[in-house]
């Protein structure tokens, strides 16, 4: 026998299941009175600096059906590219938000500020983006992806530039539909499948 | 957001594959293209942190939190406790652990759950806790019932509690389930079986822990959770020990 490592292995994932809302956003699920309000209800508070934007979209399965049961989380920096907890970060930006697909339409909405670009190693930077984590029944391990913006300079972003096919890169870029309005659809499988991340 | 450092890449071998024909819903919800792998960035290395001001006194007591202490939930009283560690075996302090589960009859308080078993008027089914200095958390709850679900002809979920865990970085985010030692339904469950290696699945099975059980009150089950770790340099290791 070789020597033993003293490191541990990550706990294996299991699906969040159809009732993830009870655990993560109970008030939304109708389980009222346990917490004063759901965690991550707002990405920003009133007075957050920067451009307030709304991102709308759906999560589609391989048959083209918009999931009614998806639960998502987003994480992002403020308009100056500082994450909550970092020195000088905008105290009105929570950075974290939880939101769910509508039970009738399957559409979700995220209201937040447009994030700033984030420093990357050796003086580079990452283009403005929001990290997104998607869970639902039938998703065995939460899916990581990112929302970039079509009206930002995405050239040289270290992640986007790793995706060779333009049409695949485009799956990570929110389309501008109006002033402060963006559309970001996620396709779990098949034609136009979103690029999911492992980082 | 104090504990910066590159995250150790996920060992995808221990996680269930996205596509599993035995778990029918995964068939149309599984990406077919490979994941894009890259070293973590500030986006994944930072994450939301929650303080004690978030928590109410009954948040980790699922027996009482739905009625805010007025009446206890029906069922077999159990304590579920354990530690949250990272892959470097370091306790994760002050991280949020959320749990949700069915009631003693196997029914969720959710409009989509139409199982025959009745709702318990005193049971909501969710709780949360922050880990202490040593990474410990605990929940007082009732043992959830097994329940049937539409998948193959006669599939039943073993008794289980769903867990959602935050680390200090968004890239550590994890949702999983805890099973109970000795439950024979584990071996028939297509969701448990999405984990392909029994030794990996066993890490989700909490043993009965008589050392934490309280006479005439509750049994206890121990469930430790490991999150992704951060790569440490030798220098950082030394600093830690100083
Ligand atoms: Fe369940």
- B112/chain A closest Cα distance in angstroms: 8
B25 vs B54: CA distance, rounded Å: 35
Put simply, the answer to whether A13 touches B176 (Cβ < 8 Å) is yes
The continuous run of DSSP H or E covering B143 comes out as none
Min Cα separation B218/chain A (Å): 22
pLDDT digits (tens, 9 = 90+) for A133-184: 999 999 999 999 999 999 999 999 999 999 999 999 999 999 999 999 999 9
The predicted model scores a pTM of 0.96
List the single residue in B38, B42, B49 with the smallest CB-CB distance to A162. B38
Which residues 156-215 of chain B have a CB within 8 Å of chain A?
162, 164, 170-171, 173-177, 191-192, 194-195, 200-201, 203-204
Could you confirm whether B15 is annotated as catalytic? no
**pLDDT at residue B3 greater than cutoff 90:** no
Average pLDDT over residues B188-213: 97
Q: What percent of chain A has pLDDT over 70?
A: 100
Concerning whether B200 is annotated as a catalytic residue, the answer is no
Whole-number Å distance, alpha carbon A181 to ligand 1 midpoint, is 36
Q: Which of these ranges, A19-28, A44-53, B3-12, B219-228, has the smallest mean pLDDT?
A: B3-12
- Residues A167 and A172: their CA atoms lie apart, in Å, by 10
- Structure confidence by residue, pLDDT tens digits, A13-55: 999 999 999 999 999 999 999 999 999 999 999 999 999 999 9
> What per-residue confidence (pLDDT) applies to B233?
62
- Interface probe with A: pick from B28, B61, B230, most Cβ of A within 10 Å: B28
Beta-carbon separation of B100 and A12 below 8 A: no
For chain A positions 108-147, those within 8 Å of chain B (CB to CB) are 118-120, 126, 129, 131, 133, 135-144, 146
* Both structure tokens of B8: 């150790």
- The answer to whether residue B121 scores a pLDDT higher than 60 is yes
User: CA-CA distance, B54 to A36, in Å (whole number)?
Assistant: 9
Of A12, A94, A189, which has the smallest distance from its Cβ to B204's Cβ?
A: A12
**B136 DSSP β-pair partners:** B83
For residue A77 the two structure tokens come to 């920096």
d(CA A152, nearest CA chain B) in Å: 18
* Residues A30, B109: C-beta atoms closer than 8 Å: yes
- A198 and B9 in contact by Cβ < 8 A? yes
Mean pLDDT of B67-76: 98
Helix (H, G, I), strand (E, B) or coil at A168: helix
Please give the helix or strand (H or E) that residue B232 lies within, else none. none
- Is the pLDDT score of B163 beyond 90? yes
B136 labelled catalytic: no
Query: Cβ–Cβ of A159/B36 closer than 8 Å?
Result: yes
Q: How far apart are CA A9 and CA A185, in angstroms?
A: 34
B23 at A interface, C-beta within 8 A? yes
The more confident residue out of B2 and B111 is B111
Per-residue burial over A83-110, b if 16 or more Cβ lie within 10 Å, else e, is bbebeebbebbbbbbbbbbeeeebebeb
* Catalytic residue status for B218: no
Q: How far is CA A140 from CA A13, B143, B152, in A?
A: 7, 24, 18
Say if CB B241 and CB B18 are below 8 A apart. no
Q: CB count, 10 Å around CB of B187?
A: 11
Helix (H) or strand (E) holding A143: strand A143-149
B54: phi > 0 → left, psi -120 to 50 → alpha, else beta; which? alpha
Residue appearing with tokens 């959710």: B110
Say what the pLDDT of residue B4 is.
72
Q: Out of A146-160, B17-31, B224-238, pick the least confident.
A: B224-238
State ipTM.
Answer: 0.96
Q: Is the pLDDT of residue B234 over 70?
A: no
Report pLDDT for A51: 98
B56 pLDDT more than 90: yes
Of B28, B66, B171, the CB nearest to A199: B171
Is the predicted pLDDT of residue B6 greater than 60, yes or no?
A: yes
What's the whole-number mean pLDDT along residues B198-202? Answer: 97
| CA–CA distances in Å: residue A143 to residues A7, A67, A136, A188 | 25, 14, 10, 9
Question: Are A83 and B42 within 8 A, CB to CB?
Answer: yes
What is the C-alpha R_g of chain A? Answer: 18
Task: Please tell me what DSSP assigns to residue A44.
Answer: B
Nearest CA in chain A to B9: A199
- Residue A4 predicted with pLDDT over 50: yes
What pLDDT, on the 0 to 100 scale, is given for residue B238?
Answer: 45
Q: Round the average pLDDT of chain B to a whole number and report it.
A: 94
A158, A159, A160, A161: CA torsion to nearest 10: 50
- Render pLDDT for A107-134 as a digit per residue (tens, 0 to 9): 999 999 999 999 998 789 999 999 999 9
Token look-up 């490991």 returns B226
Which chain A residues are within 8 Å of B122, Cβ to Cβ?
none
């Amino acid at each position: 026998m070789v020597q033993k490592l003293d490191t541990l292995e990550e706990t294996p994932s299991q699906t969040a299941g159809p009732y993830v809302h009870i655990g993560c956003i109970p008030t939304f699920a109708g389980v009222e009175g346990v917490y004063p309000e759901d965690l991550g209800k707002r990405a920003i508070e009133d007075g957050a600096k920067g451009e307030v934007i709304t991102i709308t979209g759906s999560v589609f399965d391989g048959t083209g059906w918009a999931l009614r049961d998806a639960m998502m989380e987003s994480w992002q920096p403020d308009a100056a590219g500082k994450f909550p907890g970092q020195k000088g970060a905008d105290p009105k930006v929570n950075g974290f938000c939880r939101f769910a697909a509508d039970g009738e339409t399957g559409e979700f909405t995220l209201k937040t500020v447009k994030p700033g670009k984030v420093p990357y190693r050796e003086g580079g930077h990452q283009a403005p983006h929001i990290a997104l984590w998607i869970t639902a029944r039938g998703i065995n391990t939460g899916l990581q992806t990112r929302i970039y913006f079509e009206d930002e300079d995405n050239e040289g972003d270290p992640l986007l530039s790793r995706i060779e096919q333009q049409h695949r890169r485009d799956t990570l870029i929110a389309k501008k539909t109006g002033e402060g309005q963006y559309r970001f659809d996620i396709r779990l499988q098949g034609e136009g499948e979103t690029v999911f991340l492992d980082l | 957001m104090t504990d910066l450092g590159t995250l150790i890449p996920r060992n995808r071998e221990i996680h269930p594959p996205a596509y599993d024909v035995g778990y029918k819903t995964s068939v149309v919800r599984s990406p077919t293209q490979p994941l894009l792998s890259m070293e973590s960035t500030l986006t994944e290395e930072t994450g939301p942190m929650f303080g004690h001001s978030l928590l109410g006194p009954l948040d980790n007591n699922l027996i009482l939190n739905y009625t805010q202490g007025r009446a206890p939930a029906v069922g077999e009283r159990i304590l579920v406790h354990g530690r949250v560690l990272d892959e470097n075996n370091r306790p994760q302090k002050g991280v949020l652990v959320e749990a949700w589960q069915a009631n003693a009859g196997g029914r969720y308080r959710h409009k989509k759950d139409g199982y025959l078993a009745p709702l318990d008027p005193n049971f909501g089914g969710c709780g949360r806790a922050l880990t202490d200095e040593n990474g410990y958390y605990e929940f007082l709850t009732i043992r959830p019932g097994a329940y049937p679900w539409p998948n193959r002809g006669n599939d039943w979920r073993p008794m289980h509690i769903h867990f959602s865990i935050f680390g200090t970085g968004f890239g550590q985010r994890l949702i999983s389930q805890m099973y109970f030692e000795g439950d024979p339904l584990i071996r028939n469950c297509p969701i448990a079986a999405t984990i392909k290696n029994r030794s990996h699945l066993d890490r989700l099975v909490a043993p009965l822990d008589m050392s934490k059980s309280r006479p005439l009150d509750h049994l206890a089950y121990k469930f430790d959770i490991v999150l992704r770790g951060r790569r440490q340099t030798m220098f950082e290791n030394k600093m830690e020990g100083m």
